[in-house]
């Protein structure tokens, strides 16, 4: 199995992941998101699975989308990263799934945001 690890910088967590791969004899490749170039028309990538560890959300989303469209399994998928990287989408997903969530408001202007926090009973209102 050839594991790709999409990363930006090698932090403590990545070092621990790499050490675990090495201990288990799992071949892995660090995919530096500063350097990777995806040949979109070819759509072939030399990984059996890719673990996404990028610190750049937009880079991660695009890379995951490219890999998922090419049939490469990823942890997590582009869809999951898109939802989890957006507070509104995450809140909507939790509400749809019936997960208890704090009362939440969405507002688009400073004025409507003030009205929303007043509705929620923001301290001092």
Q: Which residues have a Cβ under 8 Å from the Cβ of 72 and sit 6 or more positions away?
A: 4, 45, 47, 48, 49, 50
Q: Which domain holds residue 112?
A: 98-125
Digit-coded pLDDT (tens) for 91-113 = 999 999 999 999 999 999 999 99
- Mark whether 63 and 106 lie in a shared domain: no
Nearest to 10 by CA among 32, 28, 29: 32
**DSSP-based three-state secondary structure for 7:** strand
* pLDDT value for 71: 97
* pLDDT value for 16: 98
- Mark whether 69 and 117 lie in a shared domain: no
Q: What is the C-alpha separation between 9 and 32, in angstroms, rounded?
A: 8
* Total of domains in the chain: 2
- Mark whether 50 and 12 lie in a shared domain: yes
The low-confidence residues of the chain, meaning pLDDT below 50, are none
What is the pTM (predicted TM-score) of this model? 0.85
Residue 92 lies inside a defined structural domain of this protein: no
- Mark whether 69 and 25 lie in a shared domain: yes
């Amino acid at each position: 199995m050839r594991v790709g690890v999409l990363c930006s910088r090698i932090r403590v967590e990545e070092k621990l992941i790499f050490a675990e791969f090495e201990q288990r004899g799992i071949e892995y490749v660090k995919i530096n998101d500063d350097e990777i170039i995806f040949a979109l028309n070819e759509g072939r990538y030399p990984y059996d699975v890719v673990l996404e560890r990028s610190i750049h959300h937009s880079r991660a989303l695009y890379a995951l989308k490219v890999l998922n469209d090419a049939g490469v399994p990823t942890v997590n998928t582009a869809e999951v990263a898109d939802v989890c990287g957006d507070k509104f989408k995450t809140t909507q997903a939790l509400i749809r799934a019936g997960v208890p969530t704090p009362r939440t408001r969405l507002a688009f202007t400073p004025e409507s945001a003030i009205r929303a926090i007043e509705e929620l009973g923001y301290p001092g209102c």
